[in-house]
Amino acid sequence: MDANADDFAVESLETPALTKAQLAELLFERIGLNKRESKDMVDAFFDLICSSLIEGNDVKISGFGNFQIRTKAPRPGRNPRTGEAIPIEARRVVTFHASHKLKEQLQG
């Protein structure tokens, strides 16, 4: 088997994803911003979302969905390899709930 066949097999298992670089490229192509402005705009958008979530604020994007911060309580855990009991500390996690509009678009 040659290396190209192996590369193809690995790539075919990956789920396609939209990247920040692709978003910036779309802004460049569709809106006409230059590439630097497009990249800066995408970075600023995600920086705003991140900073709002870090401050404990929910982020609501109309027609898309809500990002919410949830505090998970400490709980007992277990190392699956050894069976050893390990405490899992309290932590904050981000959850996403799609809007009804987005759910409808996905269905049809």
Query: Does position 10 have pLDDT exceeding 60, yes or no?
Result: no
Least confident of 1-5, 42-46, 55-59: 1-5
pLDDT of 1: 44
Q: What is the mean pLDDT of residues 44-67?
A: 95
Q: What is the mean pLDDT of residues 70-75?
A: 94
pLDDT of 13: 63
Query: Does position 20 have pLDDT exceeding 70, yes or no?
Result: yes
pLDDT band at 15 (very low <50, low <70, confident <90, very high): confident
pLDDT of 33: 87
Residues with Cβ within 8 Å of residue 99, at least 6 apart in sequence: 61, 62, 63, 64, 65, 66
pLDDT of 2: 47
pLDDT band at 32 (very low <50, low <70, confident <90, very high): confident
Residues with Cβ within 8 Å of residue 49, at least 6 apart in sequence: 59, 67
Tell me how far apart the alpha carbons of residues 20 and 39 are, in angstroms, rounded to a whole number.
8
Sketch out the chain's domains with CATH numbers. Answer: 18-56 (4.10.520.10), 58-108 (4.10.520.10)
Enter the pTM of the model.
Answer: 0.70
Mean model confidence pLDDT for the chain: 88
